[in-house]
Amino acid sequence: MNWQLYIILCSDDSLYTGITTDVERRFAQHAAGKGAKYFRGRSACRIVYLEMGHDRSSASRREVDIKKLRPEAKWLLIASAGNQFEALTKSLGLRNLSVEN
């Protein structure tokens, strides 16, 4: 199964990191305030980072590593060439990965 690691920019400018097999479904859950307690006090604005091609184990390890990073390091990761978000949205035509304010 293809697991993806994602980072969401939140309404309070914090960054949330998670893993899933269906990023579009998972983002919709977060945007609805469901799926993670983290979103009870803030809302999900948009996905800003995506890594694909993981199995469950490697995605979980990568998630732990990224959650340990300082915010500045996460922003550098988001700006890096390893960010597969643009490629995925173009190739799959995904549209529901941000919330209009």
Q: Which two tokens stand for residue 17?
A: 């990191």
Q: Which fold has domain 3-92?
A: GIY-YIG endonuclease (3.40.1440)
47 has which bridge partners? 8
pTM of the model: 0.86
Coil/strand/helix, residue 99:
coil
Rounded Cα distance between 9 and 33, Å, is 14
Task: Spell out the domain ranges in the chain.
Answer: 3-92
Task: Identify the band that residue 6 occupies on the pLDDT scale cut at 50, 70 and 90.
Answer: very high
For 47-89, how does the pLDDT look when each residue is reduced to its tens digit (9 = 90+)?
999 999 999 999 999 999 999 999 999 999 999 988 888 776 6
Q: Is the pLDDT of residue 96 over 90?
A: no
Mean pLDDT value across the chain:
88
Q: What is the CA radius of gyration of the chain?
A: 13
